[in-house]
Structure 1
Amino acid sequence: MKLNGTELDEQIVDFSRLTEIMNDYGFVLAGQWDYERATYDYKFELLKDVYYLRVQAYAIEGDLGGRHARVKLLTPLLGKHYYPHGVEYGEGEQFPNNVLQKSKQLLHNISTALKALPTD
């Protein structure tokens, strides 16, 4: 499910600073990047279900392996994990209210932190 209206869509930011902020809010980059794209995931583990809040970015300047890359953020996604098939991000998925609220709060906090960064 796309989470529109988060103020993250199309935002351009320094990749290193973005990674620091995402780490501060519990998102994991792990090995989910290459030199052009990055994916940050926040994992929700409930009793029987697992959900992922995903924020993706792609390089518009430099490459992500370098020191001074700038990235553009895409619309965040919320998905449910189905073992053994993977994560579904379809619009027809149903999400618990607490997962939706926590996702919106996390994205708001990230947006606020990004706005507070000094402009280059």
Structure 2
Amino acid sequence: MYFENKTLENITAEQELLVSVMEKNGLECDGGWDFDRMTFDKRFDLKEGRYYLRVFCQAISGDVGNRSAVLKIAKPALGKYYYPHGVEYGEDEVFPKHLVTECEQILESVKKEFAAFGIEA
């Protein structure tokens, strides 16, 4: 499930600030990076299964590996984890309403944090 119109999409920020804001809101990038991208996750273990709120970022300049990148946020997603296949984001997935609401609140908090630095989509 992709979050439409949450206004994180297209926010551009320096890597150090981006990592700080994401971590402050519980989103971590543990190994989810390459030299031109980063992926921030928040894991939710519920009785219905394991879910991930995922925020994808693409480097528009610099290098993620040496922490000098400027990154642009893509459309955030919520996915359900299936062992051993991985995370599915498809329209056929059913997500608990309380989880969707919590994820929307997290994304709103991230948006406000960037706005405090004068950064908006």
TM range (shorter): over 0.9
The match for 2:65 is 65
Per-residue Cα deviation, 1:69-120 (whole angstroms, up to 9, x for no partner): 210100001100112211100012110011100000000000110111156x
Equivalences, count: 119
Unaligned runs of at least 5 residues, structure 2: none
Aligned-residue CA RMSD (Å): 1.3
Measure, in 2, the Cα distance between the counterparts of 1:56 and 1:67.
Answer: 16
Q: When the two structures are superposed, what TM-score results if normalisation uses the length of structure 1? A: 0.93
The more displaced of 65-74 and 41-50 is 65-74
**C-alpha separation in 1, matches of 2:104 and 2:47:** 21
Give the stretch that moved more between structures: 62-71 or 51-60: 62-71
User: In the alignment, which residue of structure 2 is the partner of 1:39?
Assistant: 39
For 1:68 and 1:24, the matched residues in 2 are separated by 20
Structure 1 residue 19: Cα displacement: 0.4
In the alignment, which residue of structure 2 is the partner of 1:112? Answer: 112
The DSSP-based 3-state class of the residue aligned with 1:31 is coil
Runs of 4 or more above 4 Å deviation: none
Which stretch has the larger CA shift, 51-60 or 63-72? 63-72
Mapped to 1, the partners of 2:48 and 2:92 lie a distance apart of: 19
Read off the aligned partner of 2:34 and give its amino acid letter: D
Q: What is the TM-score of this pair, normalised by structure 2?
A: 0.92
Could you tell me which amino acid in structure 1 is paired with residue 22 of structure 2? M
- Equivalent-residue separation in structure 2 for 1:42 and 1:8 (angstroms): 16
